[in-house]
Homo-oligomer: A and B are copies of this chain.
Amino acid sequence: MSIDKKEHIMDVAVTLFAEKGFEGTSIRDLAHEADVNIAMINYYFGSKENLFVTLLEAKARFMREKIDAVQSDPSLSELDKINQIIDGYINRFLSQPAFHRVLQQELLVTNRELLHQSVTALFIKNTQDIVAIIEKGIRKKVFRKVDPQLLFASIIGTINQVMLSRTMCNILMNKEVDADPYKDPELKNRLTKHIKQMVQDHLLIQPVLQKQK
């Protein structure tokens, strides 16, 4: 039962941190929402900050594995790899909007240095790998001489922008203000289509046939 309880606390913590931020979420809120005693959080995790780091490490592995897999697959073209990574990010971010929001917050706030650094470290490796793929495509002359780092920033940034605020996302999607856009498959479709098309238009020297009849 203790392991279930620990994971239950982590689940609730992700949601609360996502809604209210790290500072904005009190241990008492968290304990009440998870229906456990206040002392249990420090009992399990030592401290509030350590709870956060645990959350981070537990959930951050997925995207790295995805990138590693794509990168070492020789049957994929560079554009295929980029497209699969785009799919990976969209799936990842949309399936865990709460957690993703917490990550963003920690990147924005710099006074909790440990947290900030561990989140930053996650992004560094991903950036390097994707830049390497793009640069390889450029050397092969299947890609134009684009700015690899900033193109990656555009891919991630587009998703981040949509994830920034539920309200904002609803406005972008022309939905009611109180809808839950992240569960709507339409968002995923539009987002995937838009990013892939934009990246392709920007990258490819020989534009592929556009299906616009």
Contact = CB atoms under 8 A, between A and B. Distances in A.
Interface in A164-212: 164-168, 171-174, 190-191, 193-195, 197-198, 201-202, 207, 210, 212
A134 to B, nearest CB: 12
- How many chain copies? 2
A79 to B, nearest CB: 14
A82 to B, nearest CB: 14
A72 interface: no
Contact of A161 (B109, B157, B165, B193): B157
Interface string A133-156: 000000000001111011111101
A127 B162 CA distance: 12
Interface string A105-121: 10111111000110010
Interface of A: 19-21, 23-24, 101, 104-105, 107-112, 116-117, 120, 123-124, 127, 144-147, 149-154, 156-162, 164-168, 171-174, 190-191, 193-195, 197-198, 201-202, 207, 210, 212
Given A150-B162, A150-B190, 18 more contacts: A21-B21, A21-B23, A24-B111, A101-B108, A105-B109, A108-B164, A108-B165, A110-B166, A123-B171, A144-B210, A144-B212, A149-B174, A150-B194, A151-B198, A154-B158, A154-B194, A197-B202, A207-B207
